[in-house]
Amino acid sequence: MDKKEIVEVVSKTVSDGFNDFMEKQLVPTMEEISVKTARTIVEQALVERSVKGRDISGMTTDQKIAFAKQVQAVFRGNRDGALKVKANEALIEEQDNRGGYLVEPEVAAAILRIAASVGTILKQAQNWPMRTDELGIPNYTGSFLTGSYIGVDLPGTVTGLTFGQAVLIARKWQLAFTVGNDLLADASVQLADWLMAMAGEALANMVDQQGFVGGGTVAGVNYAGPFVGIMNTANVNTYFLGNSSTSGSTSYAKFDPVKDTTNIIAQLEESILDGAAFYMHRTVWATVSQVLASTSGIPYLFLGGFAKGSELDKDPYGGPIVPAGHMGGFPVYTNRWLPQQSTTAANTPFMIFGNLKACAFGDKGDLRVAQFESGSFGGKEIALADQRGIVYKHRHAFVVVLPKAFVVISTSVS
C-alpha cells in the first residue's frame, strides 16, 4: 500500500468515526430518520468532493472551515471577532437577550441548496425573494381569454381581467439540537458538513409538511403551522375515487390507475399539465402500483399494450426528488408527510395531482445561528451533559398561488 492509499484509508476511517459520533450525539434530541438523512447528505458531499472537487453546497473547503470557526466563535462569546454581525435583539422578540448571529450569505445559500436537494416543495415550487415580511403575488382568477371577432366598422368587445392576490407572509422557523463541547474543539470540514446538512434537511422537511398538509387536519392528523398546505387550501379541484362520492370506494386500494388517473388528469387545463405530477405517501404508491394484477400476480400495466406514456412503471430508488415511477404519463413523487396507506378511510384525502409551480416559497434571506449553554434540549439539561445547544432561525413563507392547478384525491363518502 503506497502513501496515497494509506492517507485515503486513514481519511475514510476518521470520516466514518466522526459521522458515527455525530449520529449518536444527535439522535437523542432529533428524529432518527432526519439524522440518518443528514448523514447521507454528508457522505454524498464527501464523494462529490473527491470526484468533482466541490459538493452540492457550492462552498470550498476553506469556506466550510470558516463557517465551523464562526460557530465556535459564537460558543466562545465572539471573543475573537469571527462573527461581526449580531442580529438586532429589539426586533427579534422570540430570542433571549443574547440574540443571534447572522451567518455568511454563502452559508445560507448552501443550506438552501441542500434543502432543495432533499425536499419536494423547495425543489419544485416557485422561489420568490422577499425584502419585506409580506409580499403580494397577483394570480389570475378569471376565465380563459379568447378575444372576439369584429365586423366592418364595428367596435370589438373589451375583456376585463380578473386578478386576485396571494400573500406571502414570512414566519420564523427554527431548528434546535445539541452537540458535545468536545466535538466543537476543532473546526473541520466534516463539522461544517453536518451543521449545514442538519439545517438543510430539517428545513426541507418542515416546508414539505406545511406545503402539502399544513394548517389543518388531514386523515385524522392535525398539522398545525402558520401556512396552509395544498390539502387544506380552499378552491382546489376535488376528486372522489370511482368519480363519485357514493361509489363505495372507501379504501385507498380502490384507486384505479387507468380510470381514476384519466379522470383526474382531465380536471386540469392543458397549460398546467406541463410540469404536473402525482404526490402520495410511499405506502400508498406501493398499493396503487400493484392493482389490476393478473392471476400470476404481475400487474397488467407493466406488460404494456397501452398508449405510449400511459403505462405504469416504478423506480424503487425514487422518492421526494427523483420520481418513484410514472402513472398516466406523469411522474409520481412520494413524500413522508402525505397520508399513509389505510385499509378503510371514507371521505379522506390521500393523494395530490398538480403543478407545484403554482405554489410560491418566499425566502426572507437571512439565516441566524444562536447558542445556549444551559436549558433543556430533548428533556436533558445540556449544562450538566457538557453540551451546547445550536439553534438555527430562518424566515420564509409559503402560499398556494393558483388552487385550480391541483386536484386533491379522496376516498368516497360512502
The pLDDT, as a whole number, for residue 207 is: 92
The pLDDT, as a whole number, for residue 366 is: 72
The pLDDT, as a whole number, for residue 80 is: 47
The residue written with cell numbers 387507468 in the block is 258
Asked if 57 contacts 106 with a C-beta cutoff of 8 angstroms, the reply is no
DSSP annotation of 379:
T
- CA–chain centroid gap for 85, Å, is 29
Strands 387-400 and 359-372 turn out to be antiparallel
Cell of 325: 415511477
Count the neighbouring beta carbons within 10 Å of the beta carbon of residue 176.
17
The pLDDT, as a whole number, for residue 154 is: 63
Strands 330-334 and 221-223 turn out to be unpaired
**First-to-last C-alpha distance (Å) of the chain:** 70
The pLDDT, as a whole number, for residue 379 is: 72
Cell of 182: 468536545
Strand partners, 395: 172
Taking Cα atoms as reference points, which of 260, 314, 259, 308 lies closest to residue 282?
A: 314
Q: State the Cα–Cα distance between residues 350 and 279, nearest whole angstrom.
A: 9
Q: State the Cα–Cα distance between residues 358 and 352, nearest whole angstrom.
A: 13
Dihedral sign of CA atoms 40, 46, 47, 48 in order: positive
The pLDDT, as a whole number, for residue 333 is: 96
Q: Residue ranges of the alpha helices (H) in 238-351? A: 259-265, 270-273, 282-288
Digit-by-digit pLDDT tens for the chain (414 residues) are: 554 454 454 455 556 777 887 777 777 666 677 777 888 888 888 878 777 777 888 888 888 888 877 766 655 554 444 444 443 333 333 333 344 566 777 787 888 888 888 899 999 998 888 877 888 776 655 555 556 666 666 666 655 555 566 677 788 887 777 776 666 666 678 888 888 888 888 888 899 999 999 988 898 888 888 899 999 998 899 999 999 999 889 888 888 888 899 999 999 988 889 999 999 999 999 888 776 444 455 554 544 444 455 556 778 788 889 999 988 889 999 999 999 987 678 899 999 999 999 999 998 877 777 777 777 776 777 778 777 777 888 889 999 988 999 999 999 998
DSSP annotation of 401:
S
Q: State the Cα–Cα distance between residues 413 and 239, nearest whole angstrom.
A: 11
Length of the chain in terms of residues written: 414
The pLDDT, as a whole number, for residue 209 is: 93
The contacts of residue 95 (CB under 8 Å, 6+ apart) are: 87, 89, 370, 393
Amino acid at 276: A
Count the neighbouring beta carbons within 10 Å of the beta carbon of residue 97.
5
pTM for the whole structure: 0.78
The pLDDT, as a whole number, for residue 81 is: 41
Asked if 172 contacts 367 with a C-beta cutoff of 8 angstroms, the reply is no
Count the neighbouring beta carbons within 10 Å of the beta carbon of residue 305.
7
The pLDDT, as a whole number, for residue 211 is: 95
